[in-house]
Amino acid sequence: MSDAVNLKGSVGEVIREAASLLDVAWARIDAELLMAHALGVSRSTMLLQHMRDPVPDAFAPLFKRRLAHEPVAYITGSAEFYGLELKVTPAVLIPRGDSETLIDAAQEHFATRAPPQRILDLGTGSGALLLAALSQWSEAEGVALDASMPALRVAQCNARKLGLADRAGFLRRSWRRDGWQRDLGRFDLVLCNPPYVEDDASLDPCVRDHEPGSALFAGPEGLDDYRILLPQIAPLLTPDGIAIFEIGSTQHDAVAVLAQNQGLESALRRDLSGHPRAMIMSQGVGKGKANR
C-alpha cells in the first residue's frame, strides 16, 4: 500500500492512477475530490485550472486513508446535500443523494398548499434534512432532535455556517426514551431518516467500519425504530401536516402496514433510481393516491 500512494506526476496523471487503484464505481470522483482537497481548491476549479500542476504532498496521506476504506466525506470533512455544503464528522451519517428524495417529496406536497411554518427533523445528524428544508422555505422555523451531542454540535455548526441558526433549534432527545415529545408542539412537516439497516446486513466497509452504527442498525428486520416512532407521530402533526420517513428499498410494504395500524395514510416516493425511498404519512392527506 505504501508504494501505491507514493504517486508522482501531474495532478491529472495522478488522478487517473489513483482512480485505477480504488475498487469502487465512483473511483474517479473520489480521486478528484481528494486531490482538490489537497490543493485547497474546489473540484471545478481544479478541473479547469490545475490538472497540469505538480501533485501536492498532502495528497498521498489522504489517498492512503481512502485505500483503507475511510469515506471521502470524513477525510475532507464535508459533503454536499441539496446544494448545501455541510460539515461532516464520524459522529454523523454522511448525507446521501437518496435522502434528497424526502425534500423533493415535501416540495411537491407543499407546491399547491400553504408552505410549512414549523418543521421537525427527527435524528438530525449533520442537520441535512432540516437545513435543506429551511433553505427552501424562508419563513419556516425548525426543531432538530438527536440523541447524540456530538452530532448536534455538527448540526449546529452547519446551521451557523449556512446562516440558518436563527430559525433552527437543536435538542438532545432520544425517541427511545419516555418524554421525548415534551413541549415540542405540532408541525406542518416532520422529516426523519431513522436507522433502518438489518443487524446482520452485509455493508460496504466504508459504511460498516466508519459510520455510526447507532444511526444505521435497527434490529433483525431494520424496523425497530419505525415501530417506536409511528405510534407517536400523529400528535406531532398539525391537521394538514405530513411526516416523511426514509425507508430501505425493500421495506415499503412493512412500513405501510405499520402506518396503517396507527391510522396513518401513506404514499410511496421513489428515488431517482426508481427504488422505494420515502413514505409520506398523514392523517388524511394523500388518501387514495397511487404509489409512484
Sequential DSSP letters for 243-279: EEEE--TT-HHHHHHHHHHTT-EEEEEE-TTS-EEEE
Q: Are 123 and 143 in contact (CB under 8 A)?
A: no
Q: How far apart are CA 71 and CA 166, in angstroms?
A: 31
Q: What is the pLDDT of residue 284?
A: 65
Number of Cβ within a 10 Å radius of residue 153: 16
Residue with cell 446482520: 200
Q: What is the pLDDT of residue 285?
A: 43
Q: What is the pLDDT of residue 288?
A: 36
Phi, psi of 243 (to 5 degrees): -120, 135
- Which of 204, 270, 216 lies closest to 26, judged by CA? 204
Number of Cβ within a 10 Å radius of residue 290: 6
Q: Are 130 and 108 in contact (CB under 8 A)?
A: no
Q: What is the pLDDT of residue 144?
A: 98
**Residue 197 DSSP class:** B
Q: How far apart are CA 121 and CA 246, in angstroms?
A: 12
Q: What is the pLDDT of residue 287?
A: 41
Per the DSSP assignment, residues forming a β-bridge with 172 are 146
Q: What is the pLDDT of residue 292?
A: 37
Q: What is the pLDDT of residue 116?
A: 98
Q: How far apart are CA 119 and CA 208, in angstroms?
A: 31
**Could you read off the pLDDT tens digit of each residue along the chain, which spans 292 residues?**
444 556 788 999 999 999 999 988 889 999 999 999 999 999 999 999 999 999 999 999 999 999 999 999 999 999 999 999 999 999 999 999 999 999 999 999 999 999 999 999 999 999 999 999 999 999 999 999 999 999 999 999 999 999 999 999 999 999 999 999 999 999 999 999 999 999 988 888 888 888 899 999 999 999 999 999 999 999 999 999 999 999 999 999 999 999 999 999 999 999 999 999 999 999 964 443 333 3
**What is the Cα 8 distance to its own chain's centre?**
35
